[in-house]
Structure 1
Amino acid sequence: MDIGKRLSLYLENNGYSKKMFCHIYGFSYNNFVSMLKGNSPFGLKQLNKIHEALPKLNTHWLLYGEGPIELGGEAQTFSILKEEGEMYMNKDDMMEFILLKYLENENIQKRIVKIYKDDIKKKLTEEKFKQE
């Protein structure tokens, strides 16, 4: 993932449309979109302007894709590479992804089945006592 994709992802996850961001912070929309698409390089002037506009944004992450997305906090967004391409996730989506991966483990599945069986037995026993 390049700078433009990371910045687009950050803006989207923080509620900015590209037009709104350009309007608020004085970027030319066409030039900005061209940089986001990778058709034009980000210059030092633009990167400084982005840094001033988004002080929480970790510029190391923006440039290299390493470390937390925001300074002084935990990463808010994750990128997971899948066979069919890149998929971007927020924290809730990431937790769901981790949980689903965890549930693919056969031992975990067996433990879950045992928990359900034990729960069903308990409920059946309680129901039987209620009827007596």
Structure 2
Amino acid sequence: MKDFDQALRTAAPGTIDGAKLLTRFAYEQLAVPSGAPVGEHLEGFIPAIVHRDGAHHLVAFSSVQRFHDEGRLGGEAVAMPVREVLLRMPADVGIVINPGSSQGFELGPDVVATLREELARPHDE
């Protein structure tokens, strides 16, 4: 089975269904950049936020390796499962995965809210 990053790398341009991928790979790790060093219990964590289409969006990468390869942000990233990232996000924030890459996507706050509701229900891992 493909992992999340591999699924993005092999998707044909313009065919990425971000919501479906985030649900399918709910327990895969995302790399969420931090603007400050992060402690063992996430103390000091300052997530990278961008403003798109009138809303704030959390920046994340489909793997820690991709975060390091992109190199534009520098610093460090916190690795956590997709599900945990989405459940921790405020209701009015969207998400951008692999910003600036053809192997990325963005979802507005309304889509993230729907995913959060779905992922909050108990599921088998």
Q: TM-score, normalised by structure 2?
A: 0.24
Q: Which has the larger radius of gyration?
A: 1
TM-score by length of 1: 0.23
- Structure with the larger RCO, 1 or 2 (CA within 8 Å, 6+ apart): 2
